[in-house]
Amino acid sequence: MPTKIEKDVISGRDTTGHEWDGLKELNTPLPKWWLYTLIVICIWGVGYAIVRPSVPGLFSYYHGTSGFSTRAQVTADVAAIAAGRAGSMDKIKATPIEKIGQDPQLQAVAMTAGRITFANNCQPCHGAGGGGRPGYPTLASDSWIWGGKLAEIQQTITYGIRSGHPDARVNQMPRFGADGILKPAEIDAAADFVLSLRAGTKPGPNVAAGAKVFAENCVACHGEKGEGNREVGGPNLHSAVHLYGDSKEAVVAQISNPRQGVMPNWNTRLDAATIKSVAFYVHSLGGGQ
Ligand code: HEC
Ligand code: HEC
């Protein structure tokens, strides 16, 4: 198509010379305000790219002349908050855990620090809000294995359970099946007895025989009637909340070859005031005694 620039009679403007089926394209200039805005934005963009961190590189990036960094800003903010809190955390460190609740301000700091510490460190095992998961006890009920008083919780968190720390809480349930201490029929009966302790469970056929096995092998840790023994960390077997499964298979498995769950010691990872705060928080979850 030949390009022929001519004037449009109606608007008086030049055409671009493009024509489609008799329609001609006008060569209308960009509005001035639009053009100037564009130029200003381009200049501003170049300036911004020079001053601020902008162009990515293979291993780093162009940092800009202003030295601005969101990471540095976060670090500074965190340091400022930590400095502000340091006073309170020092006070928590110096206050016996039973007295923290008497000072509303201290209590608020302990709860906040405890909640954050719990979410970062404990939640993966104990679940949100300490709800627990199979093998990881709920911390929100009053069914405690090792004790639900503030100092007891603090002790558990500090040194752990079977953590390998010399002051850890330790109790090894014998491997009644794996080590051949009981015969399979005795284990089966003991499981029937254990299940008979739990409300709402249909008792198995060998409860009486199981009671005898229990009396001879289990009371030292689980108590005369299976009520548990916090002194030695033997769980209450009546409790509606268990560490492991509800089914007979799960109970037989536990008696045969106990899991011996490990709770890490936190004294090497968290400072004393933080442990105190998270113990205070755990105590508040609903089961504190
Ligand atoms: C790696 C998994 C794991 C992590 C992480 C963990 N725990 Fe535990 N915790 C356990 C296990 C397993 C037990 C139960 C051990 C047993 O069989 O007696 C336990 C038990 C406890 C108990 C004793 C409960 C009772 O009934 O006496 C407390 C309290 C506790 N944990 C608090 C915490 C706190 C607070 C944190 C975070 C600072 C934490 N745990 C992090 C695995 C974990
Ligand atoms: C030396 C102490 C000890 C003896 C003896 C012992 N247990 Fe245990 N038992 C424990 C401990 C500690 C736990 C929980 C720790 C773990 O294995 O993680 C436990 C857990 C259990 C559980 C799981 C509880 C739950 O909440 O899910 C059952 C069931 C159980 N024992 C049954 C028995 C029976 C039945 C016997 C006797 C044949 C027995 N135990 C003897 C220490 C003992």
Q: Residues 248, 274: one domain? A: no
Q: Residues 133, 197: one domain? A: no
Confidence at residue 273, expressed as pLDDT on a 0 to 100 scale: 93
Any domain includes 35: no
Any domain includes 13: no
Q: Residues 244, 268: one domain? A: no
Any domain includes 30: no
Residue 1 has pLDDT above 60, yes or no: no
Q: Residues 272, 152: one domain? A: yes
Q: Which residues line ligand 1 (CB under 6 A)?
A: 121-122, 124-126, 135-137, 139, 144-147, 153, 156-157, 161, 233, 243, 261-264, 266, 278, 282
Query: Quick one: pLDDT band at residue 266, thresholds 50, 70, 90?
Result: very high
Which of the pair, 124 or 2, is modelled with greater confidence?
Answer: 124
Query: Quick one: pLDDT band at residue 85, thresholds 50, 70, 90?
Result: confident
Q: Residues 201, 159: one domain? A: no
Any domain includes 31: no
Q: Residues 144, 269: one domain? A: yes
Which of the pair, 143 or 175, is modelled with greater confidence?
Answer: 175
Q: Residues 148, 196: one domain? A: no
Any domain includes 214: yes
Q: Residues 79, 150: one domain? A: yes
Average pLDDT score, the chain: 90
Q: Residues 77, 159: one domain? A: yes
Q: Identify the domain containing residue 80 by its residue range.
A: 72-163+264-283
Q: Which of 116, 121, 126 to mutate to test the pocket of ligand 1 (most atoms within 8 A of CB)?
A: 126
**Which residue has the least CA distance to atom 32 on ligand 2?**
255
Q: Residues 268, 252: one domain? A: no
Any domain includes 118: yes
Q: Residues 117, 141: one domain? A: yes
Any domain includes 272: yes
Residue 201 has pLDDT above 80, yes or no: no
CA-CA distances (angstroms) from residue 222 to 167, 229, 231?
22, 6, 10
- Which secondary structure element, helix H or strand E, spans residue 256, and what is its range? helix 248-256
Q: Which residues line ligand 2 (CB under 6 A)?
A: 171, 173-174, 176, 190, 194, 213-214, 217-218, 220-222, 233-235, 237, 242-244, 251, 254-255, 258-261
Q: How many domains does the chain have?
A: 2
Confidence at residue 2, expressed as pLDDT on a 0 to 100 scale: 56
The CATH number for 234's domain is 1.10.760.10
Which of the pair, 82 or 100, is modelled with greater confidence?
Answer: 100
E strand residue ranges, the chain:
15-20, 23-26
The answer to whether residues 238 and 227 touch, using CB atoms and an 8 Å cutoff, is yes
Residue 66 has pLDDT above 90, yes or no: no
Query: Quick one: pLDDT band at residue 268, thresholds 50, 70, 90?
Result: very high
Any domain includes 159: yes
Q: Could you identify the residue written with the tokens 């330790």?
A: 170
The answer to whether residues 244 and 135 touch, using CB atoms and an 8 Å cutoff, is yes
pTM strictly above 0.85:
no
Residue 185 has pLDDT above 60, yes or no: yes
| Chain CA centroid to CA 207, Å | 41
Q: Residues 125, 242: one domain? A: no
